[in-house]
Amino acid sequence: MEHADVVVVGGRLAGCALAAPLARAGRKVIVIDKMTFPSDQLSTHLLMPAGVSELSKLGALPRILALNPTKVHHVRASAEHAVCDERLRPAGDGTDFGLCVPRVDQDMCVVEAAREQGVDLRERCTFKSLTWRAGRVTGIVYTDSDGTEHEVAATLTVGADGRRSNVAAAVGAWAPYRLSQNGRGLVFRYADDPSPDSFGGDTFFALREGDSFGFTFPSSPAGKILILFMGHRDEASEARKDPEGYWARKLAEHPRLSERLEGLDPSTYTKMRSTGETPAFFRASSGPGWALAGDAAHFKDPVTGQGMRDAMWMGRTLAEQVLPALDDPTAVDLATRRWEADRDRHCLPAYHFANMDTAVEVQTPIVCELIRDGGRTMEPDLGDLFGRARTLQEIAPLPRLAKNAVVAFVRGDRSRLENLRSTPRELRTQLEIRRERYADRFRESRLVWGSDHPGASWPEPPVVRARVRTPSAATSAAPHLTAVPAPTETIPQGVPA
């Protein structure tokens, strides 16, 4: 049996962001991943300044910049006749640019940076089970590429193994306590940027036409561009059946995006990627001897929710919470509980923002007016939503929303009746979100009207067995391990201890 302070299942963004600072502090950290690197990952690849800042904290940014990605400093948002151009707000460490780097390259840089800082990251290793003693997780059992079984004992075991987390299943946290249907899917591909030296070559575009979103992100290496559409989730199937027909239809639906792409050489298009199954959720993410981080713990729309940034943030802040406590298992369990509560407070505003954007409907007049209002100057404003610099409630307090509602009614871009119908719904949702944040309940499962979307399905959990060490095993040279079903945790309510 090997011993480590922390063992992590999953060696991508969340796992490496957790492991690197612990290893820098002199702790022994073992990370296993079933894949080899480099390997691709279905993802949107976009990082705003706060996400780039997390790469810097992880120690991976120099490697990322060596790939020669385009540094982006502006964002454009539009809906109907409203357009907003603004600069990106710098992150707290001064990082003032965003990046769009394919995951196959980004993850490789992250893995190399983690190893350089002392992380023992093992590829082609498959998680098999957790080990338990007295109701507490004490480590993992895994098999290597040759099929040989290994056991690692650790003070803390972390599942950073994605939405279909085997660790979550093993600790009884597979089913989310909060689940929201995403009405949208996403379809994207890369190409050569036809105008890399224009304003568009330094700008993230988020352009809405009717109930459809179109995005362009200058990418890596410089001169490439990522083009992404978010329509109804059923469009992912359409795109797989008729890729070029679907693409032509979406370009026709988005004339402003097509204008940005004028002159693009179709022969430079890459293969199309798509998904229509991205429900948002929160899982119980801490317990005796274990924690979940990244997509294993919490997920929301991958474009507007900035999931890559949040995965690294979760890993880093979890490391910061548990580092002072690693010599005391009880203190570790209290630290992971506190971290989960802080994680929810931090991620809830973006969860609600992403939920509202994933309703497949035409943008409301009040939001169109908010975009128009934000476009009066180039100063950072609405882009703070994507950059996680401010919440929607901070950007649009109730007085600003009320003012925008009055202006939208007077302007009359749509019928007065439509304005009168949509504005109370919008304001009610904002009030419900504010009330939830004020209540600050731990593992809140009550849905917010107008944000959470019921009806999402959830798959059955994978079969994962637990290994329980018997009391006599403490003194036995060859401990007896018994395979039993993994326990199911009762989800408590109220403020964590």
The one-letter amino acid at 126: T
Q: Do 24 and 163 lie in a common domain? A: yes
Q: Do 159 and 190 lie in a common domain? A: no
* pLDDT above 80 for 488: no
Q: Do 390 and 331 lie in a common domain? A: no
Q: What is the pLDDT of residue 17?
A: 98
- Token pair of 151 as six digits: 């056991």
Q: What is the pLDDT of residue 476?
A: 38
Half-sphere exposure of residue 89: CA atoms within 13 angstroms, side-chain side: 16
Q: 83 lies in a domain?
A: no
Rounded to the nearest integer, the mean pLDDT of the chain is 90
Q: 90 lies in a domain?
A: no
Contacts of 50 (CB under 8 A, 6+ apart): 91, 95, 306, 309, 313, 387, 388, 389
29-32 vs 2-9, strand pairing mode: parallel
* pLDDT above 70 for 496: no
Q: What is the pLDDT of residue 420?
A: 62
Q: Do 251 and 333 lie in a common domain? A: no
Say which CATH number the domain at 338 has.
Answer: 3.50.50.60
Asked if residue 160 lies in contact with residue 9, where contact means CB atoms within 8 angstroms, the answer is yes
Give 159-189 pLDDT, tens digit per residue: 999 999 999 999 999 999 999 999 999 999 9
What is the total count of domains within the chain?
Answer: 3
* pLDDT above 80 for 40: no
Q: Do 118 and 40 lie in a common domain? A: yes
Contacts of 410 (CB under 8 A, 6+ apart): none
Alpha-carbon span 190 to 75, nearest angstrom: 19
Q: How confident is the model at residue 80 (pLDDT cuts 50, 70, 90)?
A: confident
Q: Do 192 and 256 lie in a common domain? A: yes
Give 270-303 pLDDT, tens digit per residue: 999 999 889 999 999 999 999 999 999 999 988 8
Among 80, 83, 93, 46, which residue's Cα sits nearest to residue 382?
83
Half-sphere exposure of residue 104: CA atoms within 13 angstroms, side-chain side: 5
- What value does the mean pLDDT take over residues 1-25? 97
DSSP code, position 181: -
Q: 385 lies in a domain?
A: yes
Q: 268 lies in a domain?
A: yes
Residue 149 C-alpha from the chain's centroid: 32
Q: 213 lies in a domain?
A: yes
Q: Do 477 and 352 lie in a common domain? A: yes
- What value does the mean pLDDT take over residues 226-238? 94
Q: 13-24 vs 307-322: helix axis angle to the nearest 10? A: 30
Give 436-473 pLDDT, tens digit per residue: 999 999 999 999 998 999 989 899 998 877 777 665 44
Give 119-141 pLDDT, tens digit per residue: 999 999 999 999 999 999 999 99
- What value does the mean pLDDT take over residues 5-31? 97
Give 303-360 pLDDT, tens digit per residue: 877 889 999 999 999 999 999 999 999 999 999 999 999 999 999 999 999 998 888 8
Q: What is the pLDDT of residue 418?
A: 65
Residue for token digits 């209540």? 439
Q: Do 125 and 55 lie in a common domain? A: yes
Q: Do 399 and 423 lie in a common domain? A: yes
Q: Do 24 and 153 lie in a common domain? A: yes
The one-letter amino acid at 199: F
Q: What is the pLDDT of residue 416?
A: 57
Q: What is the pLDDT of residue 363?
A: 84
Asked if residue 157 lies in contact with residue 139, where contact means CB atoms within 8 angstroms, the answer is yes
User: DSSP string of 26-58?
Assistant: T--EEEE-SS-SS-------EE-HHHHHHHHHH
Q: Do 252 and 134 lie in a common domain? A: no
- What value does the mean pLDDT take over residues 351-370? 88
Q: 493 lies in a domain?
A: no
Q: Do 377 and 466 lie in a common domain? A: no
Give 86-104 pLDDT, tens digit per residue: 999 999 999 999 999 999 9
Q: 147 lies in a domain?
A: yes
C-alpha distances in angstroms, 252 versus 205, 209, 259, 261, 357? 17, 10, 10, 12, 22
- What value does the mean pLDDT take over residues 389-408? 88
* pLDDT above 50 for 26: yes
Alpha-carbon span 360 to 210, nearest angstrom: 9
Q: Which residues of 150-179 are buried (b: 16+ CB within 10 A; e: fewer)?
A: bbbbbbbbbbbbbbebbbbbbbbbbbbebb
Q: 81 lies in a domain?
A: no
Domain boundary (242, 259, 275) is at 275
Asked if residue 334 lies in contact with residue 497, where contact means CB atoms within 8 angstroms, the answer is yes
Say which CATH number the domain at 264 has.
Answer: 3.30.9.100
Burial status of residue 104 (CB atoms within 10 A of its CB: 0-12, 13-18, 19 or more): middle
Q: How confident is the model at residue 417 (pLDDT cuts 50, 70, 90)?
A: low
Q: What is the pLDDT of residue 137?
A: 97
Peptide bond into 255 cis (omega under 30): no
Domain of 430 in residue numbering reads as: 361-439
Among 79, 65, 119, 47, which residue's Cα sits nearest to residue 313?
47
Alpha-carbon span 417 to 195, nearest angstrom: 42
Lowest mean pLDDT among 184-193, 360-369, 409-418: 409-418
